Amino acid sequence: MKKQQSYSLHIDSPCHEQWDAMLQVRNGKYCLHCAKTVIDCTNLTDVEIDTVVQQQHANGKSTFCGRFRNEQLNRALVLPHQQRGSYFALPVLIAGALATLAPEQTNAQEVPESMKCAQPSIPQQKASQTASDTTVKATPQPLIPDSTTIVGYVKDNNGKPLGGATIRVIGIKRGAISKADGSFRIANVPVGIHELKITYIGLEAQTILYNTMQPKLLNITLKATRIQCTTGCISFYPEPLFNPKEVGKVKHLKIDE
């Protein structure tokens, strides 16, 4: 029988998750802690283990998780002799890509029976990988109403409430008449800046701007109207008598200065 090639397996960072608690998948089980598939190698021969190693490398994987018996680790795997060409690159590929193989003389930590499932690695390529869930929380946006209500009070210059005052939103058909206590309420006013006109008989009309995006209680004060009067004597001149029906009708006003 020809001379055989060999290499050993060791695990630097054993996984402490229980095998029975892992999820069953097609190629073994899935470890939620490592977020990786774990291949069950406990019943494989050295040749079958080597086949798994070669398959993982052929699939482009640099590491893989495996479940092994204690006696499968830290010893030389007995493999049939291969042609020199095919095995010449094997130590480099396995050591550099799979991180499960080491020279036979390496003193690796023995894995207890309760820690058979492990993720092998080599020191210079050891990386910590953790699975994390990213939760995107949608921030609720404030709802902007399309209409609002304008409320307020109308009073005179002495602070007395004015009932019957007219409040009109210029440009739209919205308005109100103040109550006896001077209060008013205009509902369903579109959002925006509006011009309000407030009128009351005998008092000066007032126009104000109101921004619905900055709602507030309106307190409106109307002042007395200033009327300029001319003093004089008024004479009445009746129509000519040719039209009896128009007798006595005032047609002209004359102020005697």
Question: Does residue 238 lie in a domain region?
Answer: no
Domain enclosing residue 157, as ranges: 147-222
Q: What is the average per-residue pLDDT within 39-44? A: 88
Q: Evaluate whether 212 touches 186 at the Cβ level (below 8 Å).
A: no
> What tokens appear for 193 in the block?
């800046």
Instruction: Say if residue 25 is in the same domain as residue 72.
Output: yes
User: Are residues 36 and 97 located together in one domain of the fold?
Assistant: yes
- Average of per-residue pLDDT across 23-46: 84
- 155-193 per-position pLDDT tens digit: 999 999 999 999 999 999 899 999 999 999 999 999 999
Q: Are residues 162 and 121 in the same domain?
A: no
CB atoms within 10 A of CB 125: 12
pLDDT above 50 (res 131): no
List of residues 6+ apart from 104 with CB closer than 8 A: 6, 7, 8, 76
The proportion of the chain whose per-residue pLDDT surpasses 90, expressed as a percent, equals 25
pLDDT of residue 110: 38
Whether residues 180 and 119 share a domain: the answer is no
Whether residue 18 sits in one domain with residue 105: yes
- pTM beyond 0.75, yes or no: no
Residue 141 lies in a domain: no
CATH classification at residue 163: 2.60.40.4130
- Within 13 A of 135's CA, how many CA atoms are on the CB side? 2
211 or 14, higher pLDDT: 211
Same domain, 121 and 208: no
Res 82: pLDDT: 57
On whether both 46 and 81 belong to a single domain, the answer is: yes
32/108 same-domain check: yes
d(CA 131, CA 133): 7
Judge whether 205 lies within some domain.
Answer: yes
Mean pLDDT of 145-152: 88
Nearest to 41 by CA among 86, 6, 11: 11
**137 domain-assigned:** no
Residues 92 and 184 in one domain: no
What DSSP letter does each residue of the chain carry, written as one string? Answer: ----B--EE--SSB--S-GGGSEEETTEEEETTTTEEEEE-TT--HHHHHHHHHHHHHTT-S--EEE--GGGSSSB--B----HHHHHSHHHHIIIIIS-EE-TT--PPPPPGGG-EE----GGG----------PPPPPPPP--SEEEEEEEEEETTS-B-TT-EEEETTTTEEEE--TTSEEEEEEEESSEEEEEEEETTEEEEEEEEETTS---EEEEEPBP-------EEEE-PPPTTSGGGTT----EEEE-
Instruction: Please tell me whether residues 26 and 112 are part of one structural domain.
Output: yes
* Same domain assignment for residues 38 and 120: yes
- Say yes or no: 112 and 19 in one domain: yes
Total domains present in the chain: 2
